[in-house]
Chains A and B, each alone.
Chain A
Amino acid sequence: MAHAHSNPEATAGTDAPAPHPQAARIRIAIVLALLMLALIAPLGVYPIFLMKLLCFALFAAAFNLLLGYTGLLSFGHAAFFGGSAYFTAHAAKVWGFTPELAILTGVIGAAGLGLVIGLIALRRQGIYFTMITLALAQMFYFFCLQAGFTHGEDGIQSVPRGHLFGLIDLSHTLTMYYFVLAVFLIGILVIWRFVNSPFGMILKSIRENENRAISLGYSVTRYKLGAFVMSAALAGLAGGMKALVFQFATLTDVTWQMSGEVVLMTLLGGIGTLLGPVFGAGLIVTLQNYLATSNFPVTIITGLVFMVCVLLFRRGLVGEFYASRLGRRLGFNPEN
């Protein structure tokens, strides 16, 4: 599983069907339709659930920035997600920060953590890199377990959502939803811009062939560190939002299982695609939520879904669609 990403271009290049003449317009229409869906979704689906979904979707997208575009499998992303949730909750509750400042505190905290963990872990590659991120994230977990400000297993509870910019009351569920949606879209836009920038191109070249990137004169470690910190900060953005949505921060978000869950979400949706992690997160969160009230054991079903996915759709749900005839006719590039 360490490096499950396929090489879509090799297959796409062989028998590429003629692109549909209106491909670009259809792609824009799909994006607009998804956007519309997100705007009207709270009318039909429970808003708190949607907000949770968006938080995890952004978390998975941030993780994908690293796994999908840079080829680095971090197994410690829970530290950034849960760490930021703690920082945000503490800032909002104890220091009385407004929500945007509280989330900013969380993001800065997560980026700082990302810098430290990245500096250490990036000295090694492959599975060693992964194990170091796991070890450091576990260290952070034990720190959270014992530190006074996190209140151990009680967690930081009753965090006020507060007023956005001191003006807009976020205690209304719908207001909160549109705030979360806006932050989510900004996050996704940042990732999209980042991936399609020259910086992102260099990251992809590192993913494809690190030695060649070095020989071209790029300081590979610095680029990787940049991507790592960026990914940590965006994971922090998601974690901070989640703390405000649910009004608490607990140990659940910093456990290694959370790091595993985000890997699962990304693989299910499709690594290296912008929308894949969003769909993967949606699937996992929906399963967890709807199986909770059923008689099925949640963890077993999630495991089965993962096995089916690995056996049948290696590229993930969105990845398979992009690579399908229809997807290619519409001009979807698995890189976007």
Chain B
Amino acid sequence: MFSEKDPTIEKGGTKMKRKKILALLVSAVLAVGVIGCGGGEKESTGGNESGGDEGGLIKVGIINNDPNESGYRTANDADMKEMFTEENGYDASFAYSLKNDEQISAAQQFIQDGVDYLLISAADTAGWDTVLQDAQNAGTQVILFDRTIDADESLYVASIVSDMKAEGETAVNWLKEQNLGEYNIIHIQGVMGSAAQVGRTGALDEMAKAEGWNIVKQQAADWNAETAQQITQSVIDAGTSFNVIYAENDDMARGAVAALDAANISHGVDGDVVIMGFDTNKWALEEVLAGRWNYDGQCNPYQASYIHDIIEKLENSEEITEKTIVMEEKGFDAATITQEDVDTYGI
């Protein structure tokens, strides 16, 4: 799955529209559900919100994007749900929306409910100042995860994000280490302007310029496997030679590989073409493990443990030294990947 780190992906896209019904449902639930007993999209693992502070549980309100949005999001949501349980000492409430205004009203509701921590993966970067100010006044601590927002740093205690540029740099550094002799790259991009695309494209462009790599095709396939297949096919049909496919997510890498297979162009370890993908879907890591692909870069959806650490520190009145925490993200090489890696990091 592609990771949707940038709000622009959802903002203008058709995805937004087709989530409208769901969003309406969510907002309806938020309107009535947050106050009363949480039903539908909003779930409470604590089950005793009406009772207020009791049993020493830490009350957290988690605002996330729709888990159906992508595999990345599904993994992210599952990770949060696994971490913020009663056993781990949390009374967690969840609210989902792809719309900024609905997220903000959910945040306001959580603040009124008197949560101790507000965890936000914002749909949009703007418009959060007022509600974060309210949170501060109410003594609610705010932790951002996955996405940053345009607000004063003093309004939140920490922000845990991925660095897309770093992901791309890890990948292109790996590619450089392969010492291919000559580099003829098909570069298949995600939705133009999304954070993932900008970061991963930027890294490749810089390296290609510095090292004199030849990019034979650079085209956006909008995270779509089939489009990637067609683009790769067009390069094959034109008879242009190439030896690297740098696809900005796993789906597109898969589509490109389908085109190679049809044209009997070997790929992967010992193959003619180096295959690179991103997002560490489990099936993608298996391709790497089998040697059909060469590299897959991680985009870490697991922020829950980082958040847990921060909350523990705050509860123990420790100092938070780093405001912005960039998560550790790996790259997996066909030469070194293990089954354990697949099981641990596959999403």
Partners in one complex: no
Interface residues of B (CB under 8 A from A): none
